[in-house]
Chain A
Amino acid sequence: MMALFDVVLVFTLVLLAWRCVTVTDVFRAIVVFIVIGLLLGLAWARLEAPDLALAETAIGAGLLGVLLLGTWRALDAGERHACGHHRAPVPARWLAGIGSAGFGLAMLVALTSLDGHPGGAGELALNNLDAAGTEQPVTAVLLNFRSYDTLLEMGVVLMALIGALLCRAALTYQPRAEDVTVDTPLVPVLVTAFAPAVLLMGVYLVWAGTHSPGGAFQGGATLAGAGVLLVLGGRLHGVPHTALITRALLILGTVVFTAAGLLLIPLEGAFMAYPADFIYPIMLVIEYSLALSIALSLLLLFTGTHGLRRGES
């Protein structure tokens, strides 16, 4: 039964990916891409990766979809369609098609012919789970065993945000009429009803990361989703300057993570080694500060502005 489900899921995924790269309309391609993200979440759940399923639906499908649609709206009609109609010339497309098919076949052969050599890092991580301060292995790997990765990742997110804001510094931010006025009374009501629930879900997901699927990234993305909801409903507005508190929150994750690593060097003798007695609270503090920074970074990537303020309504 589940095998049939997998086949249908994979077939749909491949079909949608084909549609996404071949359909002429850019808007349709974006919508198909969002659906692919949701189905991928389902596929991750089938592949025993619930953390990834959460992350994919929240970040990959949800936030990236919102960002793509926002960019699409910012382009004018000519830019939306002009390039769509003159695709690469036919011989080049054939060549690309043959090349991609060959590449795909090679990847398939590689993926099926590799024989599993389990062990190494994965087994080491599972065997040392007790030392990590969290019962959830993925969170343990992210925040403890491979904490350098996560620290540098926070740096990448921050750099992407700074880059995006620098690119758009020339755009004088003026909320357009359709941004502010909401033409249906349903939207403010729905925002009022959903935003607290989504916020609560985000906070819970971060906390859940210590013992079950969830974590700073999934929770942070959900919090950012609540922020997107508030911006779209007119409760939050982007402003072109950064308040000190915004900057502080943006770097909070990186600073707390680094500080926790550095301050404990005298005790433990190594960077990012945590004392076993206090490891759970340390993990929790790091996780929440990471989630806050991620949420605010993603939200500012969506609004494309340097700061936020509360709306009048």
Chain B
Amino acid sequence: MGVDVFAIAAAALMALGFYGFVAQPHPLRRILAINIFGNGVFMSMILIARWLPDGPDTVPHAMVITGLVIAVSASAFGLALIRRQALNRRSEPGSTDD
């Protein structure tokens, strides 16, 4: 059996997400990177779901839907934190961004 192209995509998404998280300090970029990493994880779970002989396994699918919604909620919370941080920085004029 050859290498599944989607397995390459899953591994690449995880690697790129991890790299982006380390290399890009901007908080918005970090949220993007975490989400790319998460998408790689979702893709591996969907690949594993295809092992079932009679049709794709629905349990990983349901878990991925749950994961998606939670990822978006957590990202939205992160984005609210970013906005709050920007507001705090603006209200103290002496501070510089780090």
Contacts and interface: CB of A to CB of B under 8 A. Distances in A.
Interface of A: 3, 6-7, 10, 13-14, 17-18, 20-22, 26, 29-30, 33, 36, 40, 43-44, 46-49, 51-52, 55-56, 59-60, 63-64, 67-68, 70-72, 74-76, 78-79, 82-84, 86-88, 92-93, 96-97, 99-101, 103-105, 107-108, 111-112, 114, 116-119, 121-123, 125-126, 137-138, 140-142, 145-146, 149-150, 153, 156-157, 160-161, 163-165, 167-168, 170-171, 215, 217, 294, 297-298, 301, 304
B23 A92 contact: yes
Nearest to B91: A170
A276 to B, nearest CB: 20
B36 A20 contact: yes
Given A20-B36, A146-B63, 20 more contacts: A3-B5, A17-B16, A26-B29, A55-B68, A59-B68, A64-B76, A71-B79, A79-B89, A83-B26, A103-B14, A111-B4, A116-B51, A118-B53, A138-B65, A146-B62, A157-B69, A164-B80, A167-B83, A168-B80, A301-B76
Given A52-B46, A97-B19, A6 B65 contact: no
Contact of A13 (B13, B49, B60, B82): B13
A14 B9 contact: yes
Contacts of A150: 66
Contacts of B82: 71, 75
B76 A111 contact: no
- B interface secondary structure, majority: helix
Interface in B1-26: 3-20, 22-26
22 contacts: A21-B36, A26-B29, A43-B6, A47-B43, A52-B64, A63-B72, A67-B76, A71-B79, A71-B82, A71-B83, A74-B86, A87-B23, A93-B23, A96-B18, A107-B40, A111-B47, A121-B57, A122-B59, A138-B65, A167-B84, A168-B83, A301-B73
Contact of A294 (B4, B28, B69): B69
Given A10-B6, A142-B66, A104 B72 contact: no
A64 to B, nearest CB: 5
Contact of B9 (A13, A76, A100, A217): A13
A122 to B, nearest CB: 3
B32 A48 contact: no
A49 B49 contact: yes
Give the 6 A-B CB pairs with smallest separation, nearest first: A104-B15, A21-B20, A116-B51, A122-B57, A164-B80, A160-B73
Contacts of A103: 14-15, 18
Interface in B34-63: 35-36, 39-40, 42-44, 46-63
A294 to B, nearest CB: 7
Contacts of A70: 79
Contacts of B5: 3, 6-7, 10
A56 B68 contact: yes
B50 to A, nearest CB: 7
Contacts of B42: 52
Contacts of B22: 88, 92-93, 96, 99-100
